A and B are shown apart, each in its own frame.
Chain A
């Protein structure tokens, strides 16, 4: 109970920290919207040439684009979020302070990142999606049940995204400067989440593999849950996400135990 309340407080502080930067949020909304328009017109051209590419019709493809924009910041599809901060703390030794606290490192950062994600979902997610739906004909579901499933899928997407970024960030304990890895992690996630192009578009073994990787839980699955196009239904999608969340969080705990035991905390 105590722990729950603590982590709730941490999440709330994460939310508030991001909420203080209003101009940055406005700039983010603008960027997301512009990016959304560019992708939307690219997809329009693509789907005009190849209707039903990846099993989506045109309005489903556009819905995919704007869902991606809604999740871009919240699920940190281009990296960032707590990752930059945590990496910097490992690099400059501030992580020692985190270790002095009577709190688990992973759950602490998870709570903080969830708070951030919730703010960015509201601040940078809802508006671009709404704008997109005004300009384009999107295939948004009418059933509240689907929306609820979608929200669950978004939550799981954020958790999986956290778990992946946590693993990358922990590597900083060994590499000392994990900036390169951070960039790699962002690149992988932009592509393998389906952000650039839905993963269902890719044929053969490559496509099959890409759809099984954890990054697909960050956008491909939530988008499919929203569109009702997930093979095996929404439940299967959610189970896939939950499975990756558990595996990756467990891996993070393991790596964290090794990292804090073995590695010297930097600097005086």
Chain B
């Protein structure tokens, strides 16, 4: 796993945080192991379709088909799958606005559907494509409403707001009506709104969709801090796999309502038969490098060549042979793009 993050470019601080998280889990493993607990969850929708002039046939569609997974308290997990995989349906059941057809579901020890009103005070939800803010009101007024709604004590509210304002750089925006905010600003405003009541669980649905690089980085940095400092459990749905690469050690992949993979990000790459790529710069143009064990040249461009080898294998022997046998000028290592890995998994 450690070599899978060889070119991890920033914020390796997540390493120690992860270790600390394991310690706490060890202390209260029983209570925290199944903080979010999903067992054999299914959801069947009946879809009626017109099949004749007056006749309608009902077909049942299994949007979620026997999914099981569990999250420890304080974990930050990526929840991914293609469109229509059942992600949103699962999230809706986890938040209690849809009833499961069968299966068992617990969030913070609570059955979401049975005790929705109790649960909503303990969860925060952020949708990248929707807003929980009031379009015509300044952020400040939206937050005041949220405070009343969740009955947040004033001191707590001020403290939480101040933290979000500082970390998400919202200071100048508090008095601007939401409709005048840019997408990135609105997103940061939405994240703040979801956190003012100190939720134990935060569901993020495409939190970085449509954001520019700077805004994305800011949101990611904030989420890392939140998870590390407050131990908020985060379930992150996204199509932007670099979100997952930056934020989550663990991913749950579903497709067509079924669980495809649940484990570490590195393991996902192996499961998807990911390949790493060695980009080799030679002194001059050469025919494609051949004869190196386990590696094959996938592309050449002048003196530069791309060599693919299995993600699980070490690059060291390859590099030493290259250095010994070829006029090597420079080389760099590229991790498998997680998109490709997942596309391969979806493909079967």
State the A residues within 8 Å of B (CB).
Answer: 2, 5-6, 9-10, 13, 16-17, 20-21, 93-94, 96-97, 99-103, 260-261, 264-265, 268
Contacts and interface: CB of A to CB of B under 8 A. Distances in A.
Interface in B108-131: 117, 120-121, 123, 125, 127, 129-131
Interface string B156-183: 0000000000000000000001000000
Interface stretch (B144-152, B272-280, B321-329): B144-152
A97 B130 contact: yes
B17 to A, nearest CB: 28
Contact of A13 (B120, B125, B131, B134): B134
Interface of B: 45, 83, 87-88, 92, 95, 97-99, 117, 120-121, 123, 125, 127, 129-132, 134-137, 141, 144-145, 148-151, 177, 205
Contacts of B145: 6, 9-10, 13
B151 A96 contact: no
A99 B98 CA distance: 10
Given A6-B148, A13-B137, A16-B137, 14 more contacts: A9-B148, A10-B145, A13-B141, A16-B141, A17-B134, A96-B92, A96-B127, A96-B130, A97-B132, A99-B97, A102-B120, A102-B121, A265-B98, A268-B205
Q: Is the interface of A mostly helix, strand, loop or mixed?
A: helix
A118 B219 CA distance: 39
B132 A268 contact: no
Nearest to B129: A268
A101 B120 contact: yes
25 contacts: A2-B148, A5-B148, A6-B145, A9-B148, A10-B148, A13-B137, A16-B137, A17-B137, A20-B177, A96-B127, A97-B132, A100-B95, A100-B97, A100-B120, A100-B132, A102-B117, A103-B149, A260-B97, A264-B98, A265-B97, A265-B98, A268-B83, A268-B87, A268-B129, A268-B205
B207 to A, nearest CB: 14
Given A20-B136, A268-B83, A102 B130 contact: no
A261 B99 CA distance: 8
B144 A9 contact: yes
Contacts of A6: 145, 148-149
A5 B144 CA distance: 12
Closest 4 CB pairs of A and B: A17-B136, A6-B148, A268-B88, A99-B97
B197 to A, nearest CB: 9
B34 to A, nearest CB: 22
Contacts of A17: 134-137
Contacts of B95: 100
Nearest to A267: B88
A260 B95 CA distance: 14
A178 B136 CA distance: 24
A17 B135 CA distance: 9
A176 B284 CA distance: 65
B59 to A, nearest CB: 15
Contacts of B121: 102
Contact of B127 (A10, A21, A97): A97
Nearest to A108: B149
A102 B150 contact: yes
Given A9-B144, A102-B150, A268-B88, A94 B130 contact: yes
Contacts of A94: 130
A21 B137 CA distance: 12
A16 B142 CA distance: 12
A102 B127 CA distance: 17
B149 to A, nearest CB: 6
Contacts of B135: 17
Nearest to B194: A100
B149 A102 contact: yes
A101 B125 CA distance: 10
Contacts of A261: 99
B151 A2 contact: yes
Contacts of B141: 13, 16
A15 B125 CA distance: 27
B64 to A, nearest CB: 13
Nearest to A89: B130
A265 B120 contact: no
A102 B147 CA distance: 11
Contacts of A102: 117, 120-121, 149-150
A263 to B, nearest CB: 10
A264 B44 CA distance: 11
B80 to A, nearest CB: 13
Nearest to B121: A102
A84 to B, nearest CB: 13
Nearest to B134: A13
